[in-house]
Chains A and B, each alone.
Chain A
Amino acid sequence: MLEKVLQLFLNGLMAGAVLAVPAIGLTMIYAVLRFVNFAVAAHMAVGAFAGYMLNVWLGVPAPLAILGAFIGAGAVGIASDHVGLRRLRGQSALTLAIASIAVNIMIESTIRFFFGGSPRDYAIPLRRDWVIGAFKIGPQQLENVVIAVAAMAILFLFLAFTITGKAMRAVADNPMLADSKGIDPDRMARLAIGIGMGLAGIGGMLVGLDTSIDPLVGFRAILSVFAAAVVGGLGSIPGAVVGGLAIGFAEELSLLALPATYKSVVGFLAILLILTLRPQGLLGTRATT
């Protein structure tokens, strides 16, 4: 029993690290633009398919194709925001959220139009799980964790040490003050969306590497991504990491009591619980209700 729990804990750690990546994307866009961007789901799919084209069509190894997932989803993110959402800036957060759902549908259906709805696999070798003592680790999952951690590390370095990264944090912290210091809010918005959606793209591809991809690969995961961001505190990047791990653990440990199909219900319950007990999230600072 204890071994089983520890194994699930390990699985949760790996699932949580992957989940944290798109959750950071969502929370970052929220921090700068102050609305919940539902189109994160579609951009996860964009990243997954951009990586697919590189990996399967051009033979680029998966860990390298991840870069393509980032760039592809980031570019589509900036473009879709420019065409679809920029006009509505300044309207209520709800209007923007609904508009982002419309954008989400348009992107997902575009992918479906060109690629169809049936699942596809990346060109990666099937590898046997490693057995270490009583534990099993999938090499692909471990690789995904390494990629996720690397992506997060680069992001933290960017935000902590570059001028642009600091400027972005300033905008997230206090848009008015940042504006008066001469930081261009439009540029920061574009940057946040580019990086945020790029991270969503990485997340989409990581999920796909673990399973398979189709146009709804992001949509199926979106509730868990939302849960990670909300539990950690919307707008807090360290929060999204903590939230991702928390949801990863919770979803895996739920397998002790519930069938696997109820995993995404766990995310929903986690959202309800945190909003009841601590609406600002674990690491969020702003009161949110």
Chain B
Amino acid sequence: MTNYLIAMATFGAIYAILALGLNVMWGMAGMVNLGIVGFYGFGAYVSALLTVKGHTPIALGFLAAMIGTAAMSALVTLGIARLRDDYLAIVTLGFAEAVRILAENEIWLTKGTDGISGIPQPLKSTLGSDFNLAYLVFCLVVLAIVLFVLERVRTSPFGRVLRAIREDAQVAAFAGKDVLKFKVKAFAIGGAVAGLAGALYAHYSSYIVPEIYVPLLTIYIFLALTAGGIGNNFGAVIGAFVVVFFLESTRFLVGIVPWLSAEQLAALREFLVGLLLLLVLFFRPRGLLPEPLPRLAKE
């Protein structure tokens, strides 16, 4: 049971970091990214390939995952920054699919659907059975650092400009802000964070396959951010843990409805995820923790 709880908390932390990455792109800069899972997967593969094939230290893998995903995100933004919301949704969804299809087919690099195994886990041999707990602590520390940094970003002048662009890009441009540059930076920061989450996952599970990065994970993260509060970093974190808790508690449906097959339970779970997302949009569109907006300056 303890092991189970540790594993769940680890996933909660990784999803929270991913949700924080999405929050920079969508919550702060107002650019929806239905392909966040592609950025997460990209980071995971960068770190996995470097450490497995290049035998580099794990720390370098993490760093490369962040820088690589940030660079890739910046490049992507150049192509899509001017698109309207609903087009952005389509294009980013397509982007994630393209990344997954590449990972499945460029077998010389990624071993295709066989996946990459034997990804080194930090200090696994010294820690032995304590590895899982230690890795959870590591994830939580990383989460705390990311949260601290992004909260600084949000309250900085840079964050203020992002909010301005989100609300009205034309006005921001008129005020002399280089909108494209800010969007590229926001996407790069969000991408770095998503890539970091991917690397954390890769070195935790030690095994990655392209199927892990299916669009459903994007929906979990969207649910996390929407339920937590779009634009609110703390909301993103709480939302992610709530979603993991929710997903896991549905596992106990087995006890209530034992006559259902595993496939039916999985289907029921997906159904509930969809329903929950819809209910959040109906009744709490700003989430559990609505974005803290600065009060208008008092005269």
Bind each other = yes
Closest to B34 in A: A101
Is the CB of A122 closer than 8 A to any CB of chain B? no
CA distance A262 to B98 in the complex (A): 8
Partner of B273, one of A35, A105, A110, A113: A105
A103-B274 in contact given A88-B281, A261-B104, A271-B94 (Cβ < 8 Å):
yes
Is B274's CB under 8 angstroms from A230's CB? no
Given the complex, which residues of A lie within 8 Å of B226, measured CB to CB? 98
CA distance A164 to B58 in the complex (A): 65
Given the complex, which residues of A lie within 8 Å of B271, measured CB to CB? 105-106, 109-110, 113
Closest to B32 in A: A94
- The stretch from B2-10, B49-57, B67-75, B80-88 touching chain A is B80-88
CA distance A113 to B105 in the complex (A): 30
Given the complex, which residues of A lie within 8 Å of B264, measured CB to CB? 112-113
Partner of A112, one of B102, B104, B267: B267
Is A264's CB under 8 angstroms from B278's CB? no
Is the CB of A135 closer than 8 A to any CB of chain B? no
CB distance from A289 to the nearest CB of B (A): 5
Is the CB of A84 closer than 8 A to any CB of chain B? yes
Is B83's CB under 8 angstroms from A98's CB? no
Is the CB of A95 closer than 8 A to any CB of chain B? yes
Interface string of B85-113 (1 = CB under 8 A from A): 11101110111011001101100000000
Is the CB of B45 closer than 8 A to any CB of chain A? no
Is the CB of B282 closer than 8 A to any CB of chain A? yes
The range of chain A's interface size is 35 or more
Is B87's CB under 8 angstroms from A289's CB? yes
Is the CB of A267 closer than 8 A to any CB of chain B? yes
Partner of A268, one of B82, B89, B94, B277: B94
Is A105's CB under 8 angstroms from B267's CB? no
CB distance from B80 to the nearest CB of A (A): 8
CA distance A108 to B273 in the complex (A): 12
Is B89's CB under 8 angstroms from A106's CB? no
| A71-105 residues at the B interface, CB under 8 angstroms | 84, 87-88, 91-95, 97-99, 101-105
Chain B interface SS verdict (over half): helix
CB distance from B134 to the nearest CB of A (A): 36
Is the CB of B176 closer than 8 A to any CB of chain A? no
Given the complex, which residues of B lie within 8 Å of A116, measured CB to CB? 263
Is B101's CB under 8 angstroms from A94's CB? no
Is A109's CB under 8 angstroms from B98's CB? no
Chain A interface SS verdict (over half): helix
CA distance A94 to B27 in the complex (A): 13
Given the complex, which residues of B lie within 8 Å of A223, measured CB to CB? 93-94, 97
Is A268's CB under 8 angstroms from B87's CB? no
CB distance from A130 to the nearest CB of B (A): 32
Is B274's CB under 8 angstroms from A95's CB? no
A113-B86 in contact given A95-B281, A102-B275, A268-B97 (Cβ < 8 Å):
no
The range of chain B's interface size is 35 or more
Given the complex, which residues of A lie within 8 Å of B255, measured CB to CB? none
Is A109's CB under 8 angstroms from B105's CB? no
Is the CB of A259 closer than 8 A to any CB of chain B? yes
Given the complex, which residues of B lie within 8 Å of A272, measured CB to CB? 79-80, 91, 94
Is A36's CB under 8 angstroms from B90's CB? yes
Is the CB of A176 closer than 8 A to any CB of chain B? no
Is B267's CB under 8 angstroms from A110's CB? yes
Is B32's CB under 8 angstroms from A226's CB? no
Partner of A261, one of B101, B216, B274, B278: B101
Is the CB of B222 closer than 8 A to any CB of chain A? yes
Partner of B84, one of A38, A101, A267, A288: A288
Is A259's CB under 8 angstroms from B281's CB? no
Interface string of B214-236 (1 = CB under 8 A from A): 00100100100010000000000
Is B82's CB under 8 angstroms from A92's CB? no
Is B87's CB under 8 angstroms from A230's CB? yes
Closest to A104 in B: B274
Is the CB of B270 closer than 8 A to any CB of chain A? yes
Is the CB of B122 closer than 8 A to any CB of chain A? no
Partner of B90, one of A84, A226, A265: A226
A35-B91 in contact given A88-B282, A102-B274, A110-B271 (Cβ < 8 Å):
no
CA distance A276 to B76 in the complex (A): 13
A99-B281 in contact given A104-B274, A112-B263 (Cβ < 8 Å):
yes
Partner of A99, one of B79, B85, B95, B278: B278
A102-B263 in contact given A97-B89, A261-B104, A276-B79 (Cβ < 8 Å):
no
Is B83's CB under 8 angstroms from A275's CB? yes
Is A109's CB under 8 angstroms from B270's CB? yes
A288-B274 in contact given A94-B32, A99-B281 (Cβ < 8 Å):
no
B residues lining the A interface (CB < 8 Å): 32, 34, 79-80, 82-87, 89-91, 93-95, 97-98, 101-102, 104-105, 216, 219, 222, 226, 263-264, 266-271, 273-275, 277-278, 281-282, 285
Q: What would 5 more interface pairs be, CB under 8 Å, given A106-B275, A106-B278, A275-B87?
A: A35-B86, A268-B94, A268-B95, A279-B83, A288-B87
3 smallest A-B Cβ distances: which pairs? A105-B274, A268-B94, A109-B270
7 contacting pairs across A/B (C-beta < 8 A): A94-B86, A97-B89, A101-B274, A223-B94, A226-B90, A268-B95, A272-B94
